[in-house]
Amino acid sequence: MTDAYLVGAGQSDYGSFPDESYRSLFATAYENTLDAVPEGIDPDRIDEAFVGTLGVGGRQLGLSGPAVTEHVGLHGVPTTRVENACAASGYAVRQAVQAVKSGMADVVLAGGVEIMTDASGDAVRYWLGVSGETEWERLSGTTFSGVYAQMASAHMREHGTTKEQLSHVAVKNHSNGAKNPHAQLGFECTLEDAMNAPTVADPLTLYHCCPTTDGAATALIVSEDVVDEFTDDPIRVAGVGASSDRVGLFQRDTYSGVPASKRAADEAYEMADRSAADLDFAEVHDCFAIAELMAYEDIGLCERGEAGEYIESGATKMDGEMPVNTSGGLKSKGHPIGATGAGQVVEAYKQLSGQAGDRQLDDPAVGLTHNVGGSGGAAVVHVFEREQEVEQ
Amino acid sequence: MTDAYLVGAGQSDYGSFPDESYRSLFATAYENTLDAVPEGIDPDRIDEAFVGTLGVGGRQLGLSGPAVTEHVGLHGVPTTRVENACAASGYAVRQAVQAVKSGMADVVLAGGVEIMTDASGDAVRYWLGVSGETEWERLSGTTFSGVYAQMASAHMREHGTTKEQLSHVAVKNHSNGAKNPHAQLGFECTLEDAMNAPTVADPLTLYHCCPTTDGAATALIVSEDVVDEFTDDPIRVAGVGASSDRVGLFQRDTYSGVPASKRAADEAYEMADRSAADLDFAEVHDCFAIAELMAYEDIGLCERGEAGEYIESGATKMDGEMPVNTSGGLKSKGHPIGATGAGQVVEAYKQLSGQAGDRQLDDPAVGLTHNVGGSGGAAVVHVFEREQEVEQ
């Protein structure tokens, strides 16, 4: 089986852009991706595309994949929309890896896009809610904030996690996001800001919840046969893992973790012949502060139940032993649903290729991205390795 | 690269089922698929799933893939929803082939489901319309009947195709569907019925349009490493092709053909090292009668412009030289959008494994399925070969 490589990735700004369309945002991410390829790339080389979106807010519910690739001049290129809620474009990247490894494609564009902010509060709730379990969660009025609040409550009860520890997630991610020019909420916040903000769903305050966001992100995955044409410093997709679960939280055995995340991470580590100890950084799915803490445990950065102490220790800060969400994460960078997974890959690409600017880590070689759909009905994990560093 | 094999496929009845849910229909297709595997299969062997749906009518717009696989006990199995409008599950089958060829999975479930009939006329129009180009087609009031009526008009003008020739498609497909116990409109119709039915969008009459349908269909695609465990008479996925195009018809160079279909067919033939002349039968995308005629030309069953004469000659009847839509096609069997592509694969499986009952062809060895999204914004083609027959 051929190996798959990440040779470029880019994103639009994340934020609220009433004058942009889902097509123009996708085009910006696409152009930035082409520009990021070290040796350049002719768009004619792209022979497959996967687009993740929840349906761009109803603007183009069917064929939303071809609708964006045609806009950037790729009509004729097989384009498949993939959707697994907030993990849509994490799965798009995974499909790109499968396409390359299958031998059916050599150069694959994978990404996602969402428009969320130019809608009423009701519409935003609807478009977020549709990824929740319909009969017993959404239609009975449970929001995603409510579902994650239940997870936070369970984690607090079982493991003694505190609201202050949750707030440290916000402080860290805003601190990182303030260094990311693409971030939607690119400002710092204090522990007091996070603790004392209005409650959204107890125990989660406003600063424990990500914003709604417009944005797009894309990446180029290529086969080992052609990677040398595009870069002298290849980044290999060393591991890929995915798993699904009951869509409704109430049907799972645990509320204080995401079993699909653990299975996805285990699979990715096994494929990469790596463990969490080998990572230099991780981008994890922090749609709510509790989600980042659960991710620490699910992907093995710390033991089960110890995530609260782990964030408090500073380990996951930019200068800690295991920086997490250097991009600012979903909390500060923003969460344009269909673009989020690919956006994490953009950060991995920037860190591994030394282009992360003010938030550049010191020569990282191995990074992980972790993307969750809904409250854990789907999860996908990638491990990326900078080959030259790893081989030294 | 490993070859991919089709070892089982099954469907629910197609029709209007107010007492069924999208989950129960999917479960029926899934059970029928497991039952179809000659040597049987333990569901624990399934290590990946792809589900095509347009969002089951809004019932579970996000995570609709995991929502159906969890229902049949496959939670934990990575499940990805793929969507390319009416070609959703044709693409799901293609993704299954890529997954197998990538070496990342050995046994993959691919299928689709849709619920369409328990909605108001407005809602049905909405859920069909969302696959049309939004700004210039859907929001300006163009329906899919309208778009295909424009294609029919163009074909008539350019090639002299007649309303009678269009009507022959309906007569043939209803004749075939009357032999299919799963068909929604399993009754015969006459040329006069088709000619004299009410006009839906001139020149298309009611009999030139497929119905709206509830239903599900699934297939099992496995790697060559494991195929022998499941069957002694393997059916190989010899060729796969896909292409995209401008979502809006008005932006394409031709109205009288579907360029994405031609590109997809050419790619599938090349991969299979086959041509149209090698086929023993084809299931093509006849959402409207004109779509079947265009398909004849796009996949190379006849020359460009000659589809009208070709259908009139009887060549594509059950006892003709190239039987097309022995299942009844979308016209008579029904068109549950997300299930349609997989449903075509069900017919290919039944014909190639000799289980097509009253509509069984005489020992066919090579069959093709052709599935279109929207008015041609996406198309996917598969060529299936019964290995033992082909090798003789």
- B131 contact A CB<8A: yes
- B66 contact A CB<8A: yes
Q: What pLDDT, on the 0 to 100 scale, is given for residue A309?
A: 98
Mean pLDDT of B207-217: 97
Q: What pLDDT, on the 0 to 100 scale, is given for residue B336?
A: 97
For residue range A84-107, list pLDDT tens digits in order.
999 999 999 999 999 999 999 999
As a three-state string, the secondary structure of A170-189 is HHHHHHHHCCCCCCCCCCCC
* Contact criterion met (CB below 8 Å) for A9 and A217: yes
As a three-state string, the secondary structure of chain B is CCCEEEEEEEECCCECCCCCCHHHHHHHHHHHHHHHCCCCCCHHHCCEEEEECCCHHHCCCCCHHHHHHHHCCCCCCCEEEEEECECHHHHHHHHHHHHHHCCCCCEEEEEEEECCCCCCHHHHHHHHHCCCCHHHHHCCCCCHHHHHHHHHHHHHHHHCCCHHHHHHHHHHHHHHHCCCCCCCCCCCCCHHHHHHCCEEECCEEHHHECCCCEEEEEEEEEECCCHHHCCCCCEEEEEEEEEECCCCHHHCCCCCCCHHHHHHHHHHHHHHCCCHHHCCEEECCCCEHHHHHHHHHHCCCCCCCCHHHHHHCCCCCCCCCCCECCCCHHHHCCCCHHHHHHHHHHHHHHHHCCCCHHHCCCCCCEEEEEEEECCCCEEEEEEEEEHHHHHC
Residue in chain B nearest A61 by alpha carbon: B130
Q: What pLDDT, on the 0 to 100 scale, is given for residue A392?
A: 43
Q: Can you tell me the distance from the alpha carbon of B1 to that of A347, in angstroms, rounded to the nearest whole number?
A: 32
Sort out which chain B residues have CB atoms less than 8 A from A69's CB and list them: 244
Superfamily of domain B4-119+211-386: Thiolase/Chalcone synthase (3.40.47.10)
Mean pLDDT of B209-233: 97
Cβ distance of A95 and B91 shorter than 8 Å: no
**Stretch 204-243 of chain A: residues touching chain B, C-beta under 8 Å:** 240, 242-243
Give the alpha-carbon dihedral of A179, A184, A187, A191, to 10 degrees.
Answer: -110
**Which residues 6+ apart lie within 8 Å of A147 measured at CB?**
A132, A137, A249, A375
Residue A120: exposed, middle, or buried by beta-carbon count in 10 A (0-12, 13-18, 19+)? exposed
Shortest alpha-carbon distance between residue B351 and chain A (Å): 27
Q: Residue A99 gets which letter from DSSP?
A: H
Q: What pLDDT, on the 0 to 100 scale, is given for residue A337?
A: 96
Q: What pLDDT, on the 0 to 100 scale, is given for residue A207?
A: 98
Sort out which chain B residues have CB atoms less than 8 A from A242's CB and list them: 78, 80
For residue range B335-386, list pLDDT tens digits in order.
999 999 999 999 999 999 999 999 999 999 999 999 999 999 999 999 999 9
Residue B124: pLDDT above 60? Answer: yes
What is the overall mean pLDDT for chain B? 95
Which residues of A are identified as catalytic? 86, 335
- B124 contact A CB<8A: no
- A335 contact B CB<8A: no
Question: In degrees rounded to 5, what are phi and psi of residue B178?
Answer: -65, -15
- A123 contact B CB<8A: no
- B104 contact A CB<8A: yes
Whether B370 sits among the annotated catalytic residues: the reply is: no
Cβ distance of A134 and B59 shorter than 8 Å: yes
| From the candidate CATH numbers 3.40.47.10, 3.40.50.720, 3.90.226.10, 3.40.50.2000, the one assigned to the domain spanning A4-119+211-391 | 3.40.47.10
Cβ distance of A244 and B74 shorter than 8 Å: yes
Question: Which residues of chain A carry a pLDDT beneath 70?
Answer: 389-392
Mean pLDDT of B31-58: 95
Helix axis angle, A22-36 relative to A64-71, nearest 10°?
60
Residue in chain A nearest B268 by alpha carbon: A104
Q: How many helices (H) and strands (E) does chain A have?
A: 14, 11
Shortest alpha-carbon distance between residue A130 and chain B (Å): 5
Cβ distance of A245 and B377 shorter than 8 Å: no
Q: Can you tell me the distance from the alpha carbon of B296 to that of B306, in angstroms, rounded to the nearest whole number?
A: 9
**Stretch 361-380 of chain B: residues touching chain A, C-beta under 8 Å:** 373-374, 377-378, 380
Buried b (16+ CB within 10 A) or exposed e, A317-353: bbeeebbbbbbbbbbbbbbbbbbbbbbbbbbbbbbbb
- A76 contact B CB<8A: yes
Q: What pLDDT, on the 0 to 100 scale, is given for residue B389?
A: 57
Domain residue ranges of chain B, discontinuous segments joined by +: 4-119+211-386
pLDDT confidence tier of residue B392, bands split at 50, 70 and 90:
very low
pLDDT confidence tier of residue B271, bands split at 50, 70 and 90:
very high
Cβ distance of A245 and B75 shorter than 8 Å: yes
Sort out which chain A residues have CB atoms less than 8 A from B92's CB and list them: none
Cβ distance of B80 and A81 shorter than 8 Å: no
Residue in chain B nearest A373 by alpha carbon: B63
| Residue among A232, A243, A318 at smallest CA distance from A280 | A318
Sort out which chain B residues have CB atoms less than 8 A from A81's CB and list them: 82-84
- A69 contact B CB<8A: yes
Sort out which chain A residues have CB atoms less than 8 A from B1's CB and list them: 102-103
- B143 contact A CB<8A: no
CB pairs < 8 Å spanning A and B: 203
Strands A366-373 and A378-386: antiparallel
Q: Can you tell me the distance from the alpha carbon of B78 to that of B105, in angstroms, rounded to the nearest whole number?
A: 10
Residue B27: pLDDT above 50? Answer: yes
In the Cβ-directed half-sphere of A145, how many Cα atoms lie within 13 Å?
Answer: 17
Residue in chain B nearest A2 by alpha carbon: B102
Q: Choose from A3, A47, A70, A80 for mutation: most chain B CBs within 10 A.
A: A80
Sort out which chain B residues have CB atoms less than 8 A from A102's CB and list them: 1, 97-102
Cβ distance of A59 and B134 shorter than 8 Å: yes
pLDDT confidence tier of residue B34, bands split at 50, 70 and 90:
very high
Cβ distance of A377 and B63 shorter than 8 Å: yes
* Contact criterion met (CB below 8 Å) for A50 and A82: yes
For residue range B141-171, list pLDDT tens digits in order.
889 999 999 999 999 999 999 999 999 999 9
Q: Can you tell me the distance from the alpha carbon of A217 to that of A254, in angstroms, rounded to the nearest whole number?
A: 32
- B287 contact A CB<8A: no
User: Which position among B208, B335, B370, B382 bears the catalytic label?
Assistant: B335
